[in-house]
Chains A and B, each alone.
Chain A
Amino acid sequence: MEPISAGALDIIQPTYWPGNYWWHWLFYTVVVIVFMLVMVIGAIYFERRAMGKMQTRLGPNRTGPFGLLQPIADAVKVLLKENIVPGVADKIVHFLAPVIAFTPVLLIFTVIPFQNGAMLADLNIGILFIVAVSSIATVGVFMAGWGSGNKYSLLGAMRNVAAVVSYEIPMVLAILGVVMVTGSLSMNDIVNAQNIPNILVQPLGFLLFFTAACAEINRSPFDLMEADSELTAGFHTEYSGMRFAMFYLVEYAEAIAMSAVISTLFLSGWRGPWLPPWLWLIIKTFFVFFLMIWVRTIMPRVRIDQLMGLAWKFLFPLAVINLFATAIEVLAWPDASQWIFVGVNIVLAGALVFLGSRLFKTGLGRVEV
């Protein structure tokens, strides 16, 4: 049994390292949990500061140097708060909901490679596993909405269902394009196959996946399920103290998980020059997360009918066309250089987005039901 040291990350002994099965399991479980918690704390700080800059205000800057300790102070505050359970709540469901929402997010990180083969489980069905597992998180949201016994919670949960069910389809179709290009479902193989980052080979796929992922994890401008002005706080209205902290954690962990998935699928994951692989993954994850913050800051919130319309009338046809185009390219010219497809696909993506935005109307300010 080799001792685990910090320098051990440099040893390239992919799948079996470190040591035997249980050591591998223990080491990566700790790595995944620590990675997620640190990234979430970083993400909360980063989001508040970046949004502050974009909105010409300061953001948190009092606690510690540059306000770096603000997320920790918030975490301590929210953990020490009283936990209030409504009298009409379904107690067991209310208690279990945060746990069930949290577990799938943690599971997503188990198949994300930090280096060639450095992951908890190199499944052959990696990306399918992510899609399957992240669909369980919705159940936690329902349980919160239903178990609280509050109509605003229930409305928030129902909006969440509608959004998740609709946006799952363009998301999976966008993933399929990547899978066809790389020829594997394993996250490690997908990264290894990306000599050109997939964002160039599949530009439309990237845009579709990014939009669908933002909607799936309730990021603004798709945060209808917790629209403060309409539903107080949506499905977690009746949560306080530590349970609320868990939902808050889930929200950011989901954003980080989706950013990591996008970096792995489209930005060639841990690959990059000079810097160590795990650092590249973190840099790319934060870059994608920055894009999410950017979108959040500049876009107004959509209405529920616009949300549905966008998924079914705009994203879905584009995803199907993208899938067809990719399938034809992969089947008809398997030996052609990928760079040709880069040019073709970027032109195709531009034309389709232009055409789609011309043909698709978001209701023109009227509510169309």
Chain B
Amino acid sequence: MGQAVAFWIMAVVIVGAALAVVFLRNVFRAALLLILCFIGVAGIYITLSADFLAAVQILVYVGAISVLIILAIMMTRGIQKGSPANKLRIPAVIVAAALLGILIYAVTTSPWNVSSQPPLTDTTGPLATQLFSENGYILPVLTGATLLLVAILGAIVITRENKENKK
């Protein structure tokens, strides 16, 4: 009962915030509502007994990614005018509609197997074992980390070169 109420409250918050992110003209407010959306998703994780994942969701998405988005917005001029229109409006509508169609198709047709086992009470240990043990996902984790590092280094190299060219 309590969980159902919590789920519906958070579902409404998430969907409402996500819609507002798309429709608001003011990019800064949109970014703030994106944060609300992320926090709602963390709430859903908590009702699913994934407490570690919820904390990481807030730490990574609210504490890091949203902060970077807001920093980028703060360095941009003319935020209140919203995004100016350009010629890509029609292709964007087509791509978005196609993506929505694929997502709806995938969600409605895939069989959602619910595990009959009770959820783990302490998820941190098992999660670590799954991610970092020999038979776990150590290779994808390390590959992902390396890719991110390469991307960061690439960004630094690109911006440094531009700076030197100007001088």
The interface of chain A, by Cβ under 8 A from chain B, is 90, 92-93, 123-125, 128-129, 131-133, 135-136, 138-139, 142-143, 145-146, 154, 157-158, 161, 164-165, 168, 185
Residues of A within 8 A of B121 (CB): 124
Cα distance, A161 to B74, chains bound together (Å): 11
Residues of B within 8 A of A165 (CB): 64, 67-68
Interface string of B41-81 (1 = CB under 8 A from A): 00000000001100110110011101110110010000000
- B2 CB, nearest partner CB in chain A, Å: 10
- A175 CB, nearest partner CB in chain B, Å: 12
Contact A125 B51 (CB under 8 A): yes
- B56 CB, nearest partner CB in chain A, Å: 7
Report how many residues on chain B are interfacial, defined by Cβ distance under 8 Å.
Answer: 25
Residues of A within 8 A of B56 (CB): 128, 132
Interface string of B14-43 (1 = CB under 8 A from A): 000000000000101100100100010000
The 5 closest A-B pairs by CB, nearest first: A135-B63, A132-B58, A132-B59, A132-B55, A128-B55
Residues of B within 8 A of A138 (CB): 63, 67
Q: Name 26 A/B residue pairs within 8 A (Cβ), A-sorted.
A: A93-B29, A93-B32, A124-B123, A124-B124, A128-B52, A128-B59, A132-B55, A132-B62, A135-B59, A135-B64, A135-B67, A136-B39, A136-B62, A136-B63, A139-B66, A139-B67, A139-B70, A142-B67, A142-B70, A143-B32, A145-B74, A146-B28, A146-B74, A161-B71, A161-B74, A165-B68
With A128-B55, A136-B58, A161-B70 given, name 10 new contacts (CB 8 A).
A90-B28, A124-B52, A129-B55, A131-B59, A132-B59, A135-B62, A139-B66, A146-B70, A157-B74, A161-B67
Give which listed residue, B28, B32, B67, B122, contacts A124 with CB less than 8 A: B122
Cα distance, A355 to B74, chains bound together (Å): 38
Contact B35 A139 (CB under 8 A): yes
- A170 CB, nearest partner CB in chain B, Å: 15
Cα distance, A234 to B39, chains bound together (Å): 27
Contact B124 A125 (CB under 8 A): yes
* Given the contacts A136-B63, A138-B63, A93 and B28 also touching, CB distance less than 8 Å: yes
Contact A139 B74 (CB under 8 A): no
Cα distance, A156 to B74, chains bound together (Å): 12
Residues of A within 8 A of B51 (CB): 123-125
CB closest residue in chain B, given A155: B74
CB closest residue in chain B, given A147: B28
Contact B124 A135 (CB under 8 A): no
Cα distance, A78 to B66, chains bound together (Å): 33
Contact B52 A125 (CB under 8 A): yes
Residues of B within 8 A of A125 (CB): 51-52, 55, 124
CB closest residue in chain B, given A124: B122
Residues of B within 8 A of A146 (CB): 28, 70, 74
- A51 CB, nearest partner CB in chain B, Å: 32
Give which listed residue, A124, A154, A168, contacts B74 with CB less than 8 A: A154
Give which listed residue, A143, A168, A185, contacts B63 with CB less than 8 A: A168
- A89 CB, nearest partner CB in chain B, Å: 12
- A161 CB, nearest partner CB in chain B, Å: 5
